[in-house]
Amino acid sequence: MGTITTTDGTEIFYKDWGSGQPIVFSHGWPLSSDDWDTQMLFFLGHGYRVVAADRRGHGRSTQTGDGHDMDHYADDLAAVVEHLDLHDAVHVGHSTGGGEVVHYIARHGESRVAKAVLISAVPPIMVQTEANPGGLPKAVFDGLQEQVATNRSAFYRDLPSGPFYGFNRDGVEPVEAIIANWWRQGMMGGAKAHYDGIVAFSQTDFTDDLRAITVPTLVMHGDDDQIVPYADSGPLSAALLQNGTLKTYAGFPHGMPTTQAATINADLLEFIRS
């Protein structure tokens, strides 16, 4: 584990374990690299080098007051990759991290990239626009910002207790330890980063980024995702990619890398080895 300092003075915390082909994990909002613990240990055990960083303003990285946009996210990721001199890397992004991955590849090129994976990811664009009529109304994201600004701790209990992991569905038993770990990760980060990050993940249009990517890319999405609705995300992203494959999971929630880790890890391993 270590830190790097970016060109604007932001310290980015990262984990770097093992050796072999690197797999680089980009986490979702408002979490940290800890959200990938299950995947990192799994792939470490299968002989891979696993790397994950806390996004600026999240986890153990600097709680800077600015730079909470996809350009900075992508550049910070590039700084970690270059610092560690990673090549032939597989980039895996969940939710907001999926946007970070596609923007990084499109912005910094594919010379260090072998493959990419987008899990429950926000591309092509979440917010409703004339060009994206199936998106969520901007008022939805305005409401998220209001909750972050006024009652963040309670909000960070409610979200994982309900739609994030599908614990609000009939017959699904909430797991308190998962909910508490989500809250822990969220409250480690900065309120300003989380507030601004809502705009970054909801309003960034990744359409051109997706079109620019040529490496094999697996798009994994649950059709019961209540955070990033399936119909306006996974299938559209896969169609825009030059070498994309869509894998749909019946009934899986947004947080499926945690609640359905065995399935997700096995499918990731198959894709990376293919």
What would the pLDDT profile of 89-118 be if each residue is shown by its tens digit? Answer: 999 999 999 999 999 999 999 999 999 999
**How much is the average pLDDT of 36-43?**
98
Sketch out the chain's domains with CATH numbers.
Answer: 2-273 (3.40.50.1820)
**φ, ψ of residue 208 in degrees (nearest 5):** -70, -35
**pLDDT at site 73:** 98
**pLDDT at site 196:** 98
What would the pLDDT profile of 45-63 be if each residue is shown by its tens digit? Answer: 999 999 999 999 999 999 9
**pLDDT at site 246:** 98
Catalytic residues: 95, 225, 254
